[in-house]
Structure 1
Amino acid sequence: MRPRRPMAEEIDTEIAVIGAGVIGMACALRLAAEGREVVILDPAEPGMGASYGNAGTIADYAVQPVGTPEVLKNLPSLLFDRNSPLAIRQAALPALAPWLLRFARQSLPGAAAANARAIAALVASANAEWQELATEIGGAGILQHRGCLYLYETRKAFAAAERDMTHRRSLGIAVELIDPSTLAAMEPGLPGVEGGAAFFPKATFLADPGQMMRRLAARLQAVGVRHIAQRVDRLTRTPGGVRLGTAQTSIRARTVILAAGAHSRRLAAQAGDRVPLDTERGYHVEWDMPAPRLTRPSCPTTRGFYLCPMAGRLRVAGTVELGGLTAPPSPHRVARLIEGARAIFPDLGAPSRDWMGFRPSIPDSLPVISASRAGSDVIHAYGHGHIGLTLAPITARIVADITAGRQTGIDLAPYAVTRF
């Protein structure tokens, strides 16, 4: 006689959040604060994916979508140049073709302008929302209020930036264009930059994203949110609620928050929603050092990465590689980050470590924050691209409002799953 398989654990809960990145954790904490019973499901350590590996910027100035008329004009060379800040793994091209066609359409002038307005509406309260969240979880000291810089390595690039900054100002962004001498006074550890910089004075950043994620996870545990370290394979609607299946557990929830980042597309389809979600593979390289040479994140704009002063280290984070979830990290992309960092700081030695993670990318650069087509028992909260860290608290507030049936105070149509 064959031994019986152990019975799967059965869990009933009011709300199940799928995904323990910064979006999922912020949603779980907001819902728990409203007295909801919440469990969070993710096989990985909370917050240790893209939520940890990013540039640490609360980028309230990042109102431009990835797709713009300028990017569209240069798209062939960008995608097929191995050294481009926006690149594609050739083996992934057939699978990515439908996504790229949508991306091209969203890069046309009218669509790009509408997408920028929709991003600006979300990021407007990012700094205030993060200050509130950081204070709640005991992480206010990790949040740094020093602004952020875009660096222009030539005078031509600096002159061309005026149009971009005028557009950002029209969307409510505070920005100052500063000359090389002013930049040198602000960042004396930065070698001379010929063109100057754009300074975003209101921007904030996390001196240690990993530590902030650990504070957030600890706060969830303290308020009684259970973390089930399992991967959700199945999502099924039933008359009694939504049933989720893992290899070991069956969970029945009244409401499911789908916040699994780059892993959300399959479960969204099981909920009845086809979403053009694909994956950007992001990288960082770190050099351990007592003083990381800069006092604020600084982005050499033509190189597509940030120089990030973090606790005890300099992190160089960025570039975009479209390439799916399964391929190994690209040594070439890591080498490009090292080369780019040494172009700014020529004396950098061997890096201390490198990392790769996955960003959830939508062709219009707008997240999906809405109830499912079939009803509000499934709520989408993913697809934030490069600004997931920035938008975590406001996404959590919107998700809590949708869950409670409240007005959100913001037009959610641009972020609805029904737009596809």
Structure 2
Amino acid sequence: MPKPENSMSPSDHRTVIVVGGGVVGTTTALALQRKGWTVTLIEAEETPRAASWGNAGHIATEQAEPIASPAMVRGFAKRLFFRGGALALPPREIATWLPFSLRLLKAARPARYERAHRALAGLLAQAMPAWERHVEALGAPELLRPHGHVVLWENPESAARGLANWRAADTGTARFHPLTEAELQDWRARIRSPIAGGIRFEGSGQIADPTRLAETATARFLTDGGTRIVARVKAVGDGEIRLSDDRSLSADQIVVAAGVASAALLHPFGLKAPIIAERGYHLQTGPDVDWPADLPPVVFEDRSMIVTRFAGGLRAASIVEFARADAAPDPAKWNRLRHHIAALGLPIGEDAQPWMGARPTLPDYLPAIGRVAGARGLSYAFGHNHLGLTLAPITGELVAAMLDGGETAVPVTPFGLARFG
């Protein structure tokens, strides 16, 4: 395996604690390590089940337009779960999702949306190159499959409307072409529901196996001298953290990358982070499944569902549920997934394993990346919503450059929490 890049002289010794062992925290820890920092990574669970490892595995470079947009507001009602859509606003959770939704509406105003759009597009343009560098540094380039993805529609009206929408959209560095009749016939032979049209993206991709990615990243981190501690962080201070067992750890720098838990850790510093747990659900089979291993991720856009073949099995993922992170899962969401699976004839049976995890989402659908003003050596990187996996390596590189005092690949100012007042 390649040795980590070291930008310091042997006499230098700089220490950093990264709070949060999801995909953003782990890749940030590795990026800092490659720059010569001595890194301690704090993970809340021995076997993490966060959205980092339960997602669709999709490197979504095509999603250059933030979800908080005028178009999303116009189509809000038809996306609701009780109307057959994937957006769930549980009545019992109204105290959680109503304030967030009002902030989202403000973020979707045209002028603010355009600023967010420019910032996100610039960040996503760096995503795939950063992933290529990351898996190369891990010594596992096969973990990245940069072979695009497919979008399918099941009736002529939605196919015409969907194609027009994608042609009008900013897809960043990704490009697409309509599927040929032969390609459509291949999908029709695989899918029970009628397939009326589809497109194939280039420039996007997937992770071959999220579990192996997590294991490989952790092994590389430990091999290269990192320290991993399984514990919950109670508080963060200037150059110090306090764990739930009242142990204290200190370092030259601290990076908060703890997903939805980050807001509470940063609150004492006067930072507003109006984050919500945007919960997603999936069902996954085991590895012995009748679905070719080389098929790219496929989005069934009429159902707001993505299906991805991993080394460990076939996964169907969907649902955007605004709720508290610790609220009990709703079995109706898995039942909706089972309904879609049956209608499509996918080889995902009743023995499929259910999962639910919380995407850390801010109202403007931009991540939070920056330094805490007035605090010594305190930074943050969280709130990546649907793009945590996609943006993890570039986020790690930005944080490493920021802590080194160097120039970042893209300006980080638009991602600072100061935008929330």
TM-score normalised by length of structure 1:
0.90
Give the match for residue 6 of structure 1.
none
* Structure-2 change in CA distance of 1:252 and 1:93 (3 Å): same
Give the match for residue 283 of structure 2.
285
CA distance in 2, matches of 1:227, 1:113: 40
CA distance in 1, matches of 2:357, 2:279: 6
Task: Say if 2:283 is the partner of 1:300.
Answer: no
Give 3-state SS (helix, strand or coil) of 1:175's partner: strand
Deviation of 1:30 after TM superposition, in Å, equals 1.0
Give the match for residue 394 of structure 2.
394
CA distance in 2, matches of 1:107, 1:301: 22
Mean Cα deviation higher: 194-203 or 389-398: 194-203
* Structure 1 contact 89–322 (Cα < 8 Å) conserved: yes
* Structure 2 contact 192–343 (Cα < 8 Å) conserved: no
Q: Which amino acid aligns with 2:128?
A: N
Task: Say if 2:329 is the partner of 1:329.
Answer: yes
Give 3-state SS (helix, strand or coil) of 2:190's partner: coil
CA distance in 2, matches of 1:166, 1:213: 35
CA distance in 1, matches of 2:254, 2:312: 39
Give 3-state SS (helix, strand or coil) of 1:270's partner: helix
* Structure-2 change in CA distance of 1:187 and 1:141 (3 Å): farther
Q: Which amino acid aligns with 1:383?
A: G
Give the match for residue 144 of structure 2.
143
Deviation of 1:402 after TM superposition, in Å, equals 0.9
Give 3-state SS (helix, strand or coil) of 2:351's partner: coil
Mean Cα deviation higher: 152-161 or 208-217: 152-161
Give the match for residue 266 of structure 1.
264
CA-based RMSD: 2.3
Deviation of 1:77 after TM superposition, in Å, equals 5.2
Deviation of 1:410 after TM superposition, in Å, equals 1.2
* Structure 2 contact 64–121 (Cα < 8 Å) conserved: yes
* Structure-2 change in CA distance of 1:104 and 1:351 (3 Å): farther
Q: Which runs of 4+ in 1 moved over 6 A?
A: none
* Structure 1 contact 190–293 (Cα < 8 Å) conserved: no
CA distance in 1, matches of 2:194, 2:174: 24
CA distance in 1, matches of 2:49, 2:323: 20
Give the match for residue 6 of structure 2.
none
Deviations 1:238-263 (A, max 9, x none): xxx33434314101222110100121
How is 1:19-418 mapped onto 2 (pairs within 5 angstroms)?
A: 19-45=20-46, 48-76=49-77, 78-79=79-80, 81=82, 83-169=84-170, 171-185=172-186, 189-191=190-192, 193-237=194-238, 241-294=239-292, 295-345=295-345, 348-375=348-375, 377-418=377-418
* Structure-2 change in CA distance of 1:192 and 1:328 (3 Å): closer
* Structure 2 contact 127–393 (Cα < 8 Å) conserved: yes
CA distance in 2, matches of 1:245, 1:300: 43
Deviations 1:12-66 (A, max 9, x none): 9821100001111111111111111111112213654212101011111122322
Deviation of 1:275 after TM superposition, in Å, equals 0.8
* Structure 1 contact 179–196 (Cα < 8 Å) conserved: no
* Structure-2 change in CA distance of 1:196 and 1:33 (3 Å): same
* Structure-2 change in CA distance of 1:143 and 1:346 (3 Å): closer
Deviations 1:297-350 (A, max 9, x none): 111112122111111421001211011112111100111111112221166531
* Structure 2 contact 240–250 (Cα < 8 Å) conserved: yes
CA distance in 1, matches of 2:307, 2:351: 14
* Structure-2 change in CA distance of 1:79 and 1:349 (3 Å): closer
CA distance in 1, matches of 2:191, 2:146: 19
* Structure-2 change in CA distance of 1:36 and 1:187 (3 Å): farther
* Structure-2 change in CA distance of 1:41 and 1:80 (3 Å): same
CA distance in 2, matches of 1:86, 1:180: 32
Report percent identity of matched pairs: 28
Give 3-state SS (helix, strand or coil) of 1:302's partner: helix
* Structure 2 contact 64–117 (Cα < 8 Å) conserved: yes
Q: Which amino acid aligns with 1:399?
A: V
Q: Which amino acid aligns with 1:377?
A: G
* Structure-2 change in CA distance of 1:69 and 1:234 (3 Å): same
Q: Which amino acid aligns with 2:61?
A: D
CA distance in 1, matches of 2:303, 2:63: 16
Deviations 1:357-391 (A, max 9, x none): 11101111100011113346211100000110111
* Structure-2 change in CA distance of 1:375 and 1:82 (3 Å): farther
Deviations 1:177-207 (A, max 9, x none): 2255433347853446432112112222112
Q: Which amino acid aligns with 2:140?
A: G
- Consecutive unaligned residues in structure 1, runs of 5 or more: 1-11
CA distance in 1, matches of 2:194, 2:144: 27
Give the match for residue 10 of structure 2.
none
Q: Which amino acid aligns with 1:327?
A: A
CA distance in 1, matches of 2:251, 2:326: 30
* Structure 1 contact 288–313 (Cα < 8 Å) conserved: yes
* Structure 1 contact 154–194 (Cα < 8 Å) conserved: yes
Give 3-state SS (helix, strand or coil) of 2:315's partner: strand
Mean Cα deviation higher: 409-418 or 219-228: 409-418
* Structure 2 contact 60–390 (Cα < 8 Å) conserved: yes
Mean Cα deviation higher: 164-173 or 386-395: 164-173
Deviation of 1:105 after TM superposition, in Å, equals 1.7
Give 3-state SS (helix, strand or coil) of 2:67's partner: coil
Give the match for residue 7 of structure 1.
none
Mean Cα deviation higher: 80-89 or 366-375: 80-89
CA distance in 2, matches of 1:313, 1:164: 32
Mean Cα deviation higher: 395-404 or 29-38: 29-38
* Structure-2 change in CA distance of 1:346 and 1:166 (3 Å): closer
* Structure 1 contact 279–361 (Cα < 8 Å) conserved: yes
* Structure 2 contact 15–251 (Cα < 8 Å) conserved: yes
CA distance in 2, matches of 1:87, 1:215: 35
Q: Which amino acid aligns with 1:115?
A: A
Mean Cα deviation higher: 61-70 or 200-209: 61-70
